[in-house]
C-alpha cells in the first residue's frame, strides 16, 4: 500500500510567496503547520521561507508589511505556495495579474520539476506563469469562468475543492490552503504526526454538507493512500471511476483496495468511490448555478438521469432539492418534489 514518501536527507523547501496586495493569512497558517509538523516529528523535514520577486518589505492587503527573505530566482525551493489577493470582481483580474508581472516571470522561469501550490485568486498567478498549462486545476467558483476564458490551456475542473495534478496543486476559496496543506504535508510526514497536528490546528469547516458525504471529505482522511484515491476519483470521469481503475492507480489488487477502503472508511470500495465522485456534483450544486445537465456532463456521469439516480440513492434527494437545501443561497423553505428525468 502506498505510504508517505520517506524523508530525504535534505528538508523539503517551501517558498511562501509574497507580493503587494496579497492576503497572507493562509501563508501564516501554512508556516505554522510546517513548524508544528517538524516539532511533532522531532526533526526538520520541511522548511518555509518568505520569498518574493525582489528583496525588501512587501505591503499586504490591509495587513502588515512583510520582509522577503529570498527572491524566487535565488531561493531554489521545491515548491511555491501562492496566496490569494483581494478582488472585487472578475473585471479586475487581468489588471491584478499584470501588476505582478515580475513575480509571474520569475515563477515561469523556475524548473518544471518545482511544484506550484496555489489557492483562491493565487491560482490566476500560477496560470499566468504557465505552471498550470496542460494540467487539471480548480479555482474559486466565481473566478473559474473568467480564468477558463483567459487560460485555455488549463483543464479547469468544476465542483472540486482541491486538484492535484503532478507538479500543479490548486485549491478553491480563501480557505483553500487548509485542504491543500493537509494533502501536501501528508507526502512528507508520518500519519500520526499529521493527525496530531490536525487535531490541534485545523479549523472546522462552516460549509453545510449532507452527512452522506462525510466519508469522502479530504480532511477526514488520514491515510495518504486514501487521499491519493480521492484525488484520482475527482480527476476521472464518473463513468471511468471503477474498482479496477482505482486499483491500478494505487498499484494494488482489487482485493487489497477493498481492504484499504474498509479499514479507512468502514464501507465498500465501490460505494466509497461512487460517493467520492458524487460529492463533486453535490459541491457544484451547492456552490454554483450551473445547470444540472451541464454538471453531469462535466463530471462524466453520462446523462442527467444517471446523476439524478446516483444522488437520490446516496442522499434521498433529487439534484434540485439538494441545491435548494444546501446551496449557498438556501433558506428554510419547503422542498418541492420533482419528477425524474426520462
CA–CA separation, 143 and 121 (whole Å): 8
Give all strands (DSSP E) within the chain, no chain letters.
12-17, 46-52, 56-59, 65-68, 70-71, 79-82, 115-119, 136-137, 155-156, 162-165, 168-171
Task: Compute the distance between CA of residue 294 and CA of residue 42 in angstroms, rounded to an integer.
Answer: 49
Shared domain for 105 and 242, answered yes or no, is no
> Which one, of 30, 32, 23, 82, lies nearest residue 52 by Cα?
82
From 149, 165, 192, the end of a domain falls on: 192
Question: What pLDDT, on the 0 to 100 scale, is given for residue 202?
Answer: 60
- Asked if residue 16 is part of any domain, the answer here is yes
Identify whether residues 303 and 217 lie together within a single domain.
Answer: yes
pLDDT of residue 228: 86
Task: State in Å, rounded, how far the first CA of the chain is from the last one.
Answer: 42
Inside any domain, residue 159 = yes
* Interatomic CA distance for residues 329 and 322, integer angstroms: 12
342 assigned to some structural domain = no
Read off the DSSP letter of residue 151.
-
Per-10-residue mean pLDDT, the chain, length 342: 52 97 94 92 93 96 92 96 90 92 96 96 97 95 92 90 93 92 92 77 61 84 86 89 93 95 94 94 88 92 93 94 79 32 42
Domain membership of residue 203 (yes or no) is no
**Domain contains 139:** yes
Residues 28 and 161 in one domain: yes
Predicted local confidence at residue 227, as pLDDT: 84
Ordered strands of the 70-71 beta sheet: 70-71, 46-52, 12-17, 79-82, 115-119, 168-171, 162-165
Rg (CA), the chain: 20
Q: Check whether residue 40 and residue 79 sit in a common domain.
A: yes
For residues 52 and 94, state if they share a domain: yes
Question: Does residue 292 form part of some domain?
Answer: yes
Q: What is d(CA 145, CA 318) in angstroms, rounded to the nearest whole number? A: 26
Overall domain count for the chain = 2
CATH number, residue 92: 3.40.50.880
CA-CA distances (angstroms) from residue 265 to 156, 167, 184, 205, 247? 29, 28, 21, 20, 16
Domain assignment present for residue 3? The answer is no
Task: Report CA torsion sign: 150, 152, 153, 159.
Answer: positive
Do 250 and 109 lie in one domain? The reply is no
- Of 134, 161, 192, which marks where a domain is finished? 192
Question: Containing H/E element for 262?
Answer: helix 254-265
> Looking at the structure, do residues 120 and 89 belong to the same domain, yes or no?
yes
Asked if residue 30 and residue 157 are part of one domain, the reply reads yes
Selection from 33, 41, 1 nearest residue 14 by Cα = 33
Q: Are residues 59 and 183 in the same domain?
A: yes
Contacts of 181 (CB under 8 A, 6+ apart): 29, 30, 33
Regarding whether 49 and 178 lie in a shared domain, the answer is: yes
Supply the CATH number for residue 319's domain.
1.10.10.60
Q: Is residue 43 part of a domain?
A: yes
- Asked if residue 250 and residue 186 are part of one domain, the reply reads no
Domain range for 218 is: 209-326
Number of Cβ within 10 Å of residue 291's Cβ equals 11
Question: Hunting for cell 535565488 — which residue is that?
Answer: 74
Which of 210, 204, 215 has its CA nearest to residue 276? 215
- Please tell me the predicted confidence (pLDDT) of residue 191: 81
The pLDDT of residue 207 is 56
Predicted pLDDT of residue 166: 87
Q: Which of 137, 160, 192 is the last residue of a domain?
A: 192
Name, in order, each residue with C-beta under 8 angstroms of 54's C-beta and a sequence gap of 6 or more.
68, 71, 102
pLDDT score recorded for residue 231: 83
User: In the prediction, which pLDDT does 331 show?
Assistant: 36
Do residue 137 and residue 242 come from a single domain? no
Amino acid at each position: 500500500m502506498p505510504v508517505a514518501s520517506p524523508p530525504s536527507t535534505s528538508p523539503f523547501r517551501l517558498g511562501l510567496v509574497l507580493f503587494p496586495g496579497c492576503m497572507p493569512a493562509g501563508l501564516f497558517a501554512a508556516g505554522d503547520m510546517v513548524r508544528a509538523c517538524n516539532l511533532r516529528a522531532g526533526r526538520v523535514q520541511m522548511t518555509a521561507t518568505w520569498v518574493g520577486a525582489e528583496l525588501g518589505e512587501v505591503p499586504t492587503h490591509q495587513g502588515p508589511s512583510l520582509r522577503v527573505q529570498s527572491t524566487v530566482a535565488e531561493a531554489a525551493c521545491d515548491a511555491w505556495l501562492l496566496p490569494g489577493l483581494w478582488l472585487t470582481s472578475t473585471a479586475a483580474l487581468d489588471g491584478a495579474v499584470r501588476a505582478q508581472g515580475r513575480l509571474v516571470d520569475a515563477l515561469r522561469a523556475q524548473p518544471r520539476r518545482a511544484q506550484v501550490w496555489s489557492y483562491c485568486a493565487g491560482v490566476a498567478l500560477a496560470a499566468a506563469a504557465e505552471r498550470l498549462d496542460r494540467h487539471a486545476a480548480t479555482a474559486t467558483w466565481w473566478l473559474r469562468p473568467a480564468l477558463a476564458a483567459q487560460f485555455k490551456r488549463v483543464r479547469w475542473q468544476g465542483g472540486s475543492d482541491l486538484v492535484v495534478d503532478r507538479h500543479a496543486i490548486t485549491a478553491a476559496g480563501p480557505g483553500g490552503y487548509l485542504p491543500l496543506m493537509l494533502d501536501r504535508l501528508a507526502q512528507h510526514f508520518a500519519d500520526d504526526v499529521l493527525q496530531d497536528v490536525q487535531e490541534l490546528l485545523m479549523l472546522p469547516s462552516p460549509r453545510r454538507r449532507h452527512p452522506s458525504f462525510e466519508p469522502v471529505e479530504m480532511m477526514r482522511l488520514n491515510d495518504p493512500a486514501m487521499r491519493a484515491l480521492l484525488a484520482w476519483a475527482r480527476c476521472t470521469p464518473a463513468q471511468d471511476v471503477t474498482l479496477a481503475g482505482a486499483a491500478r492507480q494505487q498499484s494494488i489488487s482489487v482485493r487489497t483496495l477493498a481492504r484499504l477502503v474498509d479499514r479507512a472508511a468502514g464501507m465498500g470500495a465501490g460505494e466509497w468511490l461512487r460517493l467520492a465522485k458524487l460529492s463533486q456534483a453535490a459541491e457544484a450544486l451547492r456552490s454554483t448555478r450551473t445547470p444540472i445537465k451541464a454538471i453531469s456532463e462535466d463530471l462524466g456521469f453520462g446523462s442527467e438521469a444517471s446523476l439524478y439516480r446516483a444522488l437520490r440513492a446516496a442522499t434521498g434527494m433529487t439534484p434540485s432539492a439538494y441545491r435548494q437545501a444546501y446551496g449557498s443561497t438556501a433558506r428554510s423553505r419547503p422542498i418541492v418534489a420533482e419528477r425524474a428525468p426520462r
